[in-house]
Structure 1
Amino acid sequence: MKIIIADDHPIVLAGVRDVIANDSRFDIIGQALSPTALVEMMFALTPELVICDYNMPGDGPLGDGIKLISYLRRHFPNCKVLVLTMISTPSMVAAMYRAGANGVVRKSGDLMELRVALSTLLLRRVYRRQQSPEERRQTPESIREMALSPREFEVIRLFISGKSVSEIARRLNRSSKTVSTQKINAMRKLGTQSDQDLITLCLESDLFR
């Protein structure tokens, strides 16, 4: 299986490459540091699988996250998409699968999980990770995170990364009014009263790492 790896952190690229480099079932044919570079490689090299970081700041109109997953599935329907992410919020993971992801692997876990995911994809199945009993236990923070809709989660993620409401609206192809409403709703659900409160909560909870 021909694979392209995409992540804006070279260390992550190296780690993924080391996990699968000696597996004769796979051939890494390209590595990308941005969404634009990834898509250019995909048009040129026609991979069968892309292993892609979820939170990969866009350097062009493609963006990242749900928008990028949807783009890849629309334009490269024969290529499987395996997402790497620190996000474990069930509603957001479900949104990744709805957007077309064939598997989601958490960066905070053991990268060796990639081998299990890749073997599952070789069998033409969707990879879904089984949670441990400890992970199923919800903390107050996880309950608050689950209250956010996938669209609200995306808006907050981009806002925390430094994007303005108008920039988020352009990236997500929504109106500024819609994005502003989604941001306000998310802040209400998270119990924050100001932008600073929101930023502090997200940073302290490592919500988007």
Structure 2
Amino acid sequence: MKTKIVIADDHPIVLAGIADLVDRDPRFQVVGQAQDPAGLVELAQQHGPDIIITDYSMPGDERMGDGIKLISYLTRNFPDTRVLILTMVSNPSIVAEMYRAGASGVVRKSGNLNELDGALTSLLAQRIYRSPELPREEMVPEAGEPTSAATLSPREFEVIRLFASGQSVGDIARALNRSSKTVSTQKISAMRKLGTRTDQELVAFCLESGLFG
């Protein structure tokens, strides 16, 4: 019997390419394709797939969301289904969060999609897949081990929460009744702990990891 797979990606061309690649392998059968989290969940309920291959970032509703929230939803509601994530994200902290949320494998979209074959083979063997293009296994925390986000102080956490919402350092300083220099120092410290180097990476981390909800 073939292994049933459901695929989800909000880009139709990418979705078609992945489906074609998977269908070429006689071990697998693509039983459904979705372009958003709601459609993915509906197909999972309908087909009970062995494996879900899903994009990490897709527009969705508040209940399921995307990213870490979606991975957690899928692994909680479909415990017998293994989840393989496709993503443009390479930040070690975010990748670690994906595994902690229950992903069985993570594959970089910008790499060679033929890597999917190796990832699916690992999942068939009930192994966790670690991409050579992403942080090695020893860089991913085990369950119960604190992540970089967990090392933030309450003040650092509040500063980056406000910064990610669009406020400037000056705005945050006024809102929290602190000096701009203090807020800037706390923001830089938080960025170092999160492994982000620029303001853009910091905001992306907050959005991709679902750090604030």
Q: Please indicate, yes or no, whether the TM-score normalized by the shorter chain is above 0.5.
A: yes
Which residue does the alignment assign to 2:195? none
Superposition TM-score, scaled by structure 2 size: 0.66
Which residue does the alignment assign to 2:31? 29
Superposition TM-score, scaled by structure 1 size: 0.67
Which residue does the alignment assign to 2:9? 7
Which residue does the alignment assign to 2:66? 64
Three-state SS of the structure 2 residue aligned to 1:108 is: coil
Which residue does the alignment assign to 2:88? 86
Matches within 5 A, 1:147-166: 149=149
1:145-187 deviations in Å (ceiling 9; x for gaps): xx962899xxx8xx97xx889xxxxxxxxxxxxxxxxxx9995
Shift of residue 130, structure 1, vs aligned partner:
2.3
Which of these residues, 16, 19, 25, is aligned with residue 17 of structure 1?
19
Shift of residue 77, structure 1, vs aligned partner:
0.2
1:79-119 deviations in Å (ceiling 9; x for gaps): 00000000011111111011000000000100000001001
Three-state SS of the structure 2 residue aligned to 1:114 is: helix
Shift of residue 8, structure 1, vs aligned partner:
0.5
* Alpha-carbon distance change, 60 to 117 in structure 1, aligned in 2, over 3 angstroms: same
Percent identity, aligned pairs only?
A: 51
Matches within 5 A, 1:1-209: 1-131=3-133, 149=149, 187-188=187-188, 189-190=190-191, 198-199=199-200
Three-state SS of the structure 1 residue aligned to 2:40 is: helix
* Alpha-carbon distance change, 199 to 125 in structure 1, aligned in 2, over 3 angstroms: closer
Three-state SS of the structure 2 residue aligned to 1:62 is: coil
Residues matched between the structures, number: 165
Amino acid paired to 2:71: I
Instruction: Provide runs of 4+ in structure 1 moved above 6 Å.
Output: 200-203
Does the 8 Å CA contact 1:36/1:60 hold for their aligned counterparts?
no
Q: Supply the distance in 1 between the matched residues of 2:10 and 2:185 (Cα, whole angstroms).
A: 30
Q: Which has the larger radius of gyration?
A: 2
Shift of residue 14, structure 1, vs aligned partner:
1.3
Q: Supply the distance in 1 between the matched residues of 2:103 and 2:185 (Cα, whole angstroms).
A: 27
Which blocks of at least 5 consecutive residues in structure 2 are unaligned? 137-146, 153-159, 168-183, 193-197, 209-213
Does the 8 Å CA contact 1:51/1:84 hold for their aligned counterparts?
yes
Which blocks of at least 5 consecutive residues in structure 1 are unaligned? 137-146, 166-183, 192-196
Does the 8 Å CA contact 1:88/1:106 hold for their aligned counterparts?
yes
